[in-house]
Chains A and B, each alone.
Chain A
Amino acid sequence: SAVISQKPSRDICQRGTSLTIQCQVDSQVTMMFWYRQQPGQSLTLIATANQGSEATYESGFVIDKFPISRPNLTFSTLTVSNMSPEDSSIYLCSVLQATNEKLFFGSGTQLSVL
């Protein structure tokens, strides 16, 4: 199974600032995904990040607010820009393992915006 290291695990940020979340995978993967889990809600896909191309964003999410980098097959970052209290959530990265089609997740980033 893929092992994903995600950091930071949590942060408290001021309104108007930006936070970059990093995900490192222990193996090469084609598809990486970024999810958001708001309090009491299910996971919502923000975007799909493929190496060598721009990320594909889901409805309601835009690149200016959530820029994503995918410089190689083992690493990705998600930036939450110009944060407001509504951005307070858990952010999770995940990868799809092609061999068994299972989705593996990082440990998540608990973000609180004051």
Chain B
Amino acid sequence: KQEVTQIPAALSVPEGENLVLNCSFTDSAIYNLQWFRQDPGKGLTSLLLIQSSQREQTSGRLNASLDKSSGRSTLYIAASQPGDSATYLCAVAGKTSGNTPLVFGKGTRLSVIA
């Protein structure tokens, strides 16, 4: 059974710092991995999706990497801003996309202090 772990559970950084969020999963037979952002009282927003054949994806100040063999992914946020404060969740899809539910980590709660 796939298990997803995110470390740290919470992180507080001053504005402008670069930071890395970590995600690990127990079964390397994944189809893809997604990073989401969740704001209080709101749903989830998809940030980046990495297919199992890819090593990284970039969107603006965000870069996500995937090392399937070691069961790890990182989300790198450059030049953090107070607006980045949110909970970041990673989720992995099993071998058959759409037919296997995403397994989510518990998230990392990020606070960026102005």
Contact = CB atoms under 8 A, between A and B. Distances in A.
Interface in B1-24: 4
A80 B91 CA distance: 25
B104 interface: yes
A61 to B, nearest CB: 12
Interface residues of B, number: 22
B75 to A, nearest CB: 16
> Which has the most chain B C-beta neighbours within 10 Å: A4, A58, A101, A108?
A101
Interface band, chain A: 20 to 34
A92 B43 contact: yes
A10 B41 CA distance: 9
Contacts of A103: 34, 44, 46, 91, 102
Contacts of A110: 41
B107 A45 contact: no
A102 B49 contact: yes
B101 A105 contact: no
Interface of B: 4, 32, 34, 36, 41-46, 49, 89, 91, 93, 97-98, 101-102, 104-107
